[in-house]
């Protein structure tokens, strides 16, 4: 999934990524994978904080390399009037601009939506913040961790007698970015197909994840009950848990569909339970969740991993191994699909990254290159988008604007 393609769905779309860290830049990453020309605007003195965030090799941020794929890095010091003016000029040539700076700061810089739409009414303006605009927390700083707490995720995650549990990856940022991508495409459809103008998109780090946890809200609203932590089990279906095999491997199983749950009984040698309403009926089954879960755990714990996987596969049970990164990369199915691609890189030699996730038959996504050095495309972009010559760009550099 490397190289160029004449059928890039978003070819001709110009996007400015003027954000930092995770959620907002990920939106630009997804658009870049499908052919949008994305320029990555960074402070000339420090660059995006993602460059130094997380695990590094030889001083190179590994997440930066992936999130900045396919982007053209330019520099502009938005704390200077010249840098602000440059970004305003670039916005006039773009279709989409992406920010995650606090609203008060953008307003101070003259880069808020109200200011830009006066001269650029065509612009799709995406603003991702911690809490969204219009409430008392509008201007509060925050990261995905806060979204994972306030969305209700941490409250429902973890063992019943343990503390609320946070994810070990950028969950809230990732969910927000996916919501924002489809919002951008909706806005572009409205503008380009329906004949509408530009508009502002307001996405935060709490609401997208809360939408996925809506079961808790519905339960409280209608029954007055607050769902509690249940570890790896789920109060609305059984069996559903992580289970350890005789030889120390972990698997997961989900009996969400009634037919799948009944197949589990056959797989563990209890076919008589299929015709017993106390164990077969979904609601009655929940009344015996502890018993059923222990029954499944005991059977799995008495059999080696290979036998468990084979027997469950024979009975068409929804089961999967718990992978670490090495096992994920070695999985034959993912290898056949090309889920991960190895890309050449000037800093690291090469690195494996995940290929674009949606598989489109006519307009597939591509990884063209990994994240590049700070300001690598400044001269080319300022010349091609704004018509600036090297002399003028040199003046801006000398003034600290780029």
Distance CA 361, CA 29 (A): 20
Question: Quick one: 198 exposed, middle or buried, by C-beta within 10 A (0-12, 13-18, 19+)?
Answer: buried
CA-to-CA distance for 254 and 249, rounded, in angstroms? 17
Q: What pLDDT does residue 189 have?
A: 98
pLDDT at 258 (0 to 100): 77
Domain boundaries along the sequence of the chain: 14-211+335-398, 240-244+250-321
Q: What span, in angstroms and rounded, lies between the C-alpha atoms of 349 and 370?
A: 11
Note the CATH architecture for domain 240-244+250-321. Answer: 2-Layer Sandwich (3.30)
Is 173 noted as a catalytic residue in this protein? Answer: yes
pLDDT in the model for residue 397: 94
Q: How many CB atoms lie within 10 A of CB 250?
A: 13
Residues of the chain short of pLDDT 70, as ranges, are 1-6
Which of these is catalytic: 137, 173, 298, 389?
173
Domain 14-211+335-398 fold: Rossmann fold (3.40.50)
**Residue 124: cis peptide before it, omega within 30 degrees of 0:** no
Q: What is the pLDDT of residue 321?
A: 96
Can you give the pLDDT at residue 281?
A: 86
What is the distance between the alpha carbons of residues 91 and 113, in angstroms, rounded to a whole number?
A: 11
The predicted pLDDT at position 163 comes to 96
The rounded distance, in Å, linking the Cα atoms of 118 and 384 is 24
Q: CA nearest 381: which of 72, 31, 42, 96?
A: 72
């Amino acid at each position: 999934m490397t190289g160029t393609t004449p059928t890039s769905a978003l070819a001709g779309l110009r996007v400015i990524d003027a954000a930092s860290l995770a959620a907002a830049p990920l939106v630009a990453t997804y658009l870049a994978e499908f052919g949008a020309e994305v320029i990555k605007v960074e402070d000339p003195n420090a660059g995006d904080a993602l460059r130094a965030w997380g695990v590094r090799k030889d001083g190179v941020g590994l997440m930066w390399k992936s999130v900045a794929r396919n982007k053209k890095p330019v520099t502009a010091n938005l704390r200077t009037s010249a840098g602000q003016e440059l970004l305003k000029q670039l916005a006039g040539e773009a279709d989409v601009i992406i920010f995650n700076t606090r609203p008060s700061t953008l307003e101070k810089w003259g880069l808020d939506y109200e200011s830009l739409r006066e001269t650029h009414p065509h612009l799709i303006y995406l603003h991702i913040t911690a809490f969204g605009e219009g409430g008392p927390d509008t201007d509060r700083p925050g990261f995905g961790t806060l979204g994972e707490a306030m969305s209700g995720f941490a409250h429902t995650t973890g063992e019943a007698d343990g503390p609320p549990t946070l994810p070990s990856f950028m969950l809230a940022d990732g969910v927000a970015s996916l919501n924002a991508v489809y919002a951008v495409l909706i806005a572009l459809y409205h503008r380009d197909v329906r004949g509408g103008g530009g508009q502002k998109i307001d996405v935060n780090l709490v609401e997208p994840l809360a939408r996925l946890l809506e079961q808790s809200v519905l339960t409280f609203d209608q029954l007055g009950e607050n769902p509690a932590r249940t570890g790896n089990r789920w109060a609305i279906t059984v069996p559903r848990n992580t289970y350890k095999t005789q030889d120390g491997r972990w698997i997961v199983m989900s009996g969400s569909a009634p037919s799948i749950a009944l197949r589990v009984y056959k797989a563990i040698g209890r076919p008589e339970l299929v015709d017993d309403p106390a164990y077969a009926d979904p609601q009655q089954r929940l009344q015996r969740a502890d018993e059923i879960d222990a029954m499944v755990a005991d059977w799995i714990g008495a059999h080696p991993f290979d036998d468990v996987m084979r027997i469950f596969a024979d009975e068409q049970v929804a089961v999967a191994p718990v992978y670490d990164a090495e096992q994920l990369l070695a999985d034959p199915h993912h290898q056949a699909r090309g889920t991960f691609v190895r890309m050449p890189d000037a800093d690291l030699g090469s690195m494996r990254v995940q290929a674009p996730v949606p598989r489109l038959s006519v307009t597939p996504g591509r990884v063209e290159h990994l994240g590049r050095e700070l300001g690598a495309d400044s001269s080319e972009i300022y010349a091609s988008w704004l018509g600036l010559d090297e002399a003028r760009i040199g003046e801006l550099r000398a003034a600290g604007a780029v």
